[in-house]
C-alpha cells in the first residue's frame, strides 16, 4: 500500500513539475555585442529607447502592441545603433528562475522581444513586461538583490506549503 501511495505521489509530482504552464508574460532581452564598455553602453541605449517607446503602450495588451509596432521599434533601435548590425525578433527564449524581494519569478521559456547586437557575445539585459512585475529588469550579473533558485526545489516547497 505504501509503495502505491508513493508511486501516485511521484506521478502527481512529475505532472506538476513537468506539465507546461501557459503564461501571459512577455519579456524583452537585449544582448550586447561584447562586454566592452562601448558595446555595453550601446546595449543600454537600446534598452532606453525601447523602454521609452513601450512605456506608451497599453500594459493590458502589451504583446499585441509590440507586435503591431515591431517595425517602429526596429527603426528606433537602428537609429540608436547607427547602422550597426543587429537582429530583432519575437520568439520563445529560456530564462532562469530569479528571486527578488522574497518572491520567485519563474524560469522557463517565455515569448520575448529579442534584440541581439552583432554576434551577441556580451552580457544581456532583460525585463518582464507583464502587470505583476512590469518593468522589473535584470542584468546577468550577480548582485545582492537577485538570488538564483533551483526551479524544482521551489516547486516542491510550494507543493508542500499549500
Q: What is the pLDDT of residues 86-95, one digit of tens each?
A: 999 998 888 7
- For the cut 60, the answer to whether the pLDDT of residue 69 exceeds it is yes
Radius of gyration of the chain measured on its C-alpha atoms: 19
| Domain contains 56 | yes
Other residues' Cβ atoms within 10 Å of the Cβ of residue 12: 11
**pLDDT tens by residue, 26-38:** 888 899 999 999 9
- For the cut 50, the answer to whether the pLDDT of residue 133 exceeds it is no
CA distance 6 to 78: 57
pLDDT band, very low/low/confident/very high, at 160 (cuts 50, 70, 90)? low
CA distance 80 to 74: 10
Specify the pTM: 0.67
| Domain contains 31 | yes
| Domain contains 36 | yes
Q: In the chain, how many domains are there?
A: 1
Residue of 99 and 124 predicted with greater confidence: 124
pLDDT at 154: 59
| Domain contains 5 | no
Residue of 54 and 116 predicted with greater confidence: 116
| Domain contains 10 | no
- For the cut 60, the answer to whether the pLDDT of residue 146 exceeds it is no
Cell of 28: 524583452
Write out the residue range of the structural domain in which residue 74 sits.
25-161
Show Cβ contacts of residue 4 under 8 Å, excluding neighbours closer than 6 positions: none
pLDDT at 49: 92
Cell of 9: 505521489
| Domain contains 20 | no
pLDDT at 15: 61
CA 139 to chain centre: 11
| Domain contains 152 | yes
Mean pLDDT over the full length of the chain: 76
CA distances from 79 to 12, 42, 46, 48, 59 (A): 52, 11, 9, 13, 25
Other residues' Cβ atoms within 10 Å of the Cβ of residue 64: 12
Quick check: 17 and 102 in contact, CB under 8 A? no
**Lowest-pLDDT range, 16-25, 69-78, 110-119?**
16-25
| Domain contains 11 | no
Amino acid at each position: 500500500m505504501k509503495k502505491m501511495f508513493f508511486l501516485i505521489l511521484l506521478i502527481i509530482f512529475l505532472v506538476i513539475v513537468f506539465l507546461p504552464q501557459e503564461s501571459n508574460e512577455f519579456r524583452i532581452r537585449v544582448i550586447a555585442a561584447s562586454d566592452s564598455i562601448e558595446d555595453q553602453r550601446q546595449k543600454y541605449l537600446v534598452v532606453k529607447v525601447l523602454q521609452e517607446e513601450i512605456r506608451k503602450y497599453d500594459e493590458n495588451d502589451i504583446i499585441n502592441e509590440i507586435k503591431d509596432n515591431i517595425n517602429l521599434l526596429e527603426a528606433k533601435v537602428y537609429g540608436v545603433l547607427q547602422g550597426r548590425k543587429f537582429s530583432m525578433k519575437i520568439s520563445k527564449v529560456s530564462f532562469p528562475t530569479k528571486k527578488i524581494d522574497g518572491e520567485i519569478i519563474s524560469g522557463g521559456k517565455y515569448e520575448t522581444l529579442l534584440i541581439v547586437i552583432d554576434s551577441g557575445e556580451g552580457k544581456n539585459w532583460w525585463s518582464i513586461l507583464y502587470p505583476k512585475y512590469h518593468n522589473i529588469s535584470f542584468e546577468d550579473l550577480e548582485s545582492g538583490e537577485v538570488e538564483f533558485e533551483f526551479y524544482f526545489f521551489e516547486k516542491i516547497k510550494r507543493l508542500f506549503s499549500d
